[in-house]
Amino acid sequence: MSRPRFEVADIIRSAGADFIARNRHWLRWTHLKVLLAIARCRTAALGGHIDECTGCGHRATISYNSCRNRHCPKCQTGAA
């Protein structure tokens, strides 16, 4: 039996507003900035592009742009 695979961005999108509301007394602007970047990562909010093969002209589906925030686990996985 496989478990559903959740990403950090999914958790932030679903529970981030409640987390911020409960912890507003110690959260700084830098924390909020990171949470917002991760929540918007690889969504239409950051725009997207269509990859096209230069050889045959085949077009792939739309790819959404990443946030490139150094704290984002999805963006920094390849850097490790």
In a domain, 21, yes or no: yes
Has residue 37 been placed in a domain?
yes
Please report whether residue 35 resides in a domain.
yes
pLDDT digits (tens, 9 = 90+) for 11-56: 999 999 999 999 999 999 999 999 999 999 999 999 999 988 888 9
Question: Taking 90 as the threshold, does the pLDDT of residue 3 lie above it?
Answer: no
* Total number of domains in the chain: 1
Per-residue confidence (pLDDT) for residue 77, from 0 to 100: 67
HSE-CB of 48 using CA atoms within 13 angstroms: 13
Phi, psi angle pair for 61, to nearest 5°: -65, 170
* Digit-coded pLDDT (tens) for 58-72: 998 889 999 999 999
Residue 2 lies inside a defined structural domain of this protein = no
pLDDT of residue 79: 55
User: Pick from 15, 34, 33, 30: which is nearest to 74 by CA?
Assistant: 34
Helix axes 8-23, 29-40, angle to 10 degrees: 150
Q: What is the mean pLDDT of residues 4-17?
A: 90
Instruction: Establish if 1 belongs to a structural domain.
Output: no
